Structure 1
Amino acid sequence: MSAVAPTPRAHALRDNLTMLRRSLLHARRYPSLTLNVLLTPVMLLLLFVYVFGNVMSAGMGGGHADRSQYVAYIVPGILLMTVGMISLGTAVSVATDMTEGIMARFRTMAISRASVLVGHVIGSVIQTMLALVLILAIGLAIGFRPNATPVEWLAAAGLMALVSLALTWIAVGIGLVSPNPEGASNLGLPLTMLPLLSSAFVPVDAMPTGFRWFAEYQPFSPAIETLRGLLLGSGIGTLNAVLAVGWCLALTVLGYVWCRARFNREPRR
């Protein structure tokens, strides 16, 4: 009897796993890129806690300086800033594949085209979650004391994974349209700058009026406030949760459609 031929779905799954393995092996062989993008959030965390922590705490606590209060406030913001940093590294990695001709070779192979993108995305999400464990460990070491139930921990992990998925699809698109890795790094700057204009470091109520509306409704602030509420047990707020999930779903769909359209476009001769 002849063997049963694999179904297209089985082929696609196999291709996705192959590309995921390639992405993880690349990250293991070249860890410097991940370490470099992790350096910024770690340094910002230590800088704001140990240099500005007392001042920030006094401002938030009505004149009473308590650094631990600011540690509790800033760690959720740094966690989501880390997500943006790792996704920027993904944009650079994709741009590198484009300039080295690997993507052109993948286009000619009998594989699922979507698997090339999916491998980058899932690999990046896995790397991001591992990086977040490191950042959280540093936060715990300097005094972060979350007050979350097991269900809230699961919800927080799910939120961070969802934010990572959304930003990574956007980052892959940036890598596909960039002329080189340096261009991808420049085009991806909003992924790292937006957290600075959010509620990551100071409450939006303390911002000038011109920035307050933007900071409150841009993608990072609702996600940070939702994560902060989950980890600290202070309540997430329905609006923040809806905005956070809505932004993530919208960016995921937008990024996926953009990446598929760009990758399927034949390269210029």
Structure 2
Amino acid sequence: MKTNLIFYAVAVVLIVFLLITFFRLRKKIAGDVRKGIRIAIEKGTVKLIVPKMKSTYKLLMGPQEYERQRRKLEGKLLVLEPLVDEVKTVIRKQKEVQSVEEAVYFTGYHPKMVPVGKWQLFVCYMHVKSAVSAMRKDVISFIDDVDHQIPPVVSHKEAWLKFGTKITLIPKAPGLVFNPPIVTCWWSDDLNRAHFYVRGKRESVNREVKGELSAFVGLVQVASLPFTIKFYESKSHPQLSFRDYDMSHAKMYRNI
């Protein structure tokens, strides 16, 4: 009699354990199915990850629960699939934009004649041809008393840049100091601006200094913007106006 009681007790415990395990397994499978569907980015591509409804799930979950989870999964797909398609379209269009090469012009504004030892502004624009008008308006914010037409183009050189290209600008001229000595920027809009401050050393007094502003993509020089500034010695000097500034203009000359 005692042996039978022990046997029944063990059987009951075993059955309870199996039932608990079974329901926990059903719950885990349902959770895995719900959490398994997600949007992922792999190697720059957006993917919709969808868990498979295995046939074994039907045995463990039961036909009704299996169908309920399957319908939930399909409902999520109806929402997520259009979102993923939209994101893919945006990424594709962005890649198409980035792959398009366009002609880039470099235009520099600098003073024609300035006193030695005084910092003066040197503005460089990177722009497409259609942005010249916008550039003219923008430069007014840097140089006052505008009553002078912008000088004509002085040089032409060809090349092309892709959207997002990193460009390094390095000015160089004997007897001149530039601050900062190097500017890094990106081709990110139809009109991009960078600026330096330039100062002549004592050795530049009463001299006409010729220099160039070079543009690099990596180690490759893609454009050279020549400029000439004359320096004089003066204890008092007036505020420079637009008429005192010269313009150099160049189109890129090397394909990237």
TM-score band by shorter chain is under 0.3
Compare the two structures and name the one with the higher strand fraction. Answer: 2
Q: TM-score, structure 1 length as denominator?
A: 0.21
TM-score, normalising length: structure 2: 0.22
Query: Which has more radius of gyration?
Result: 2
